[in-house]
Amino acid sequence: MDLMSKFTISASMLLTGFVIVFAVLFFLIFLIWLMGKVVTGAQNKAASRKAAKVAKEAQESTYKQPEKAAQPKLEAVKAVNPDGVSDELVAVISAAVYGMYGSSEKVKIKSIKKSKSRSAWANAGVLNNTRPF
């Protein structure tokens, strides 16, 4: 084989390799683009169904307006905090409890105390950081 035939074979192999690699690359780009269009279409369809459902519920709720529940009177209570819990913290905890139970049930907070031990998250952190190798 002379030098020119070796060069021709090498060039044809190189060109064939480039064509195959770029053809597969373009095929993968098209496949990913197509999957993106399908997923976006499915998400838009689900969002439009959800919006239609919300609009339908809103339209139905305008026809039937429920009676407003009577707002309970909130009485100011002088909080005695021997454990050093601030009044703001007591107010926040009370509001959270009221928001959780609502006005249908009567809830009374008897005491709020600081925890003397670590929280579960703190214990998990200590165990994670002191675990032997």
What are the tens digits of pLDDT across the range 54-113? 888 877 776 655 566 665 555 555 555 666 677 788 888 888 888 877 765 677 777 777
**Domain residues for 45?**
1-63
In a domain, 125, yes or no: no
Domain count for the chain, please give it.
2
Please check whether residues 32 and 81 belong to one and the same domain.
Answer: no
- pLDDT in the model for residue 69: 60
Please check whether residues 55 and 80 belong to one and the same domain.
Answer: no
Please check whether residues 51 and 84 belong to one and the same domain.
Answer: no
- pLDDT in the model for residue 123: 86
Contact present, 50 and 56 (Cβ < 8 Å): no
Whole-number Å distance between alpha carbons of 86 and 74: 19
Q: Six-digit token pair at 123?
A: 């214990």
Please check whether residues 34 and 1 belong to one and the same domain.
Answer: yes
End-to-end CA distance of the chain: 64
Please check whether residues 58 and 85 belong to one and the same domain.
Answer: no
In a domain, 47, yes or no: yes
Please check whether residues 59 and 7 belong to one and the same domain.
Answer: yes
In a domain, 71, yes or no: no
In a domain, 68, yes or no: no
In a domain, 35, yes or no: yes
Q: Which pTM value belongs to this model?
A: 0.38
Nearest Cα residue to 53 out of 42, 45, 64, 41: 45
pLDDT tens digits along 18-66: 999 999 999 999 999 999 999 999 999 999 999 899 888 877 776 655 5
In a domain, 131, yes or no: no
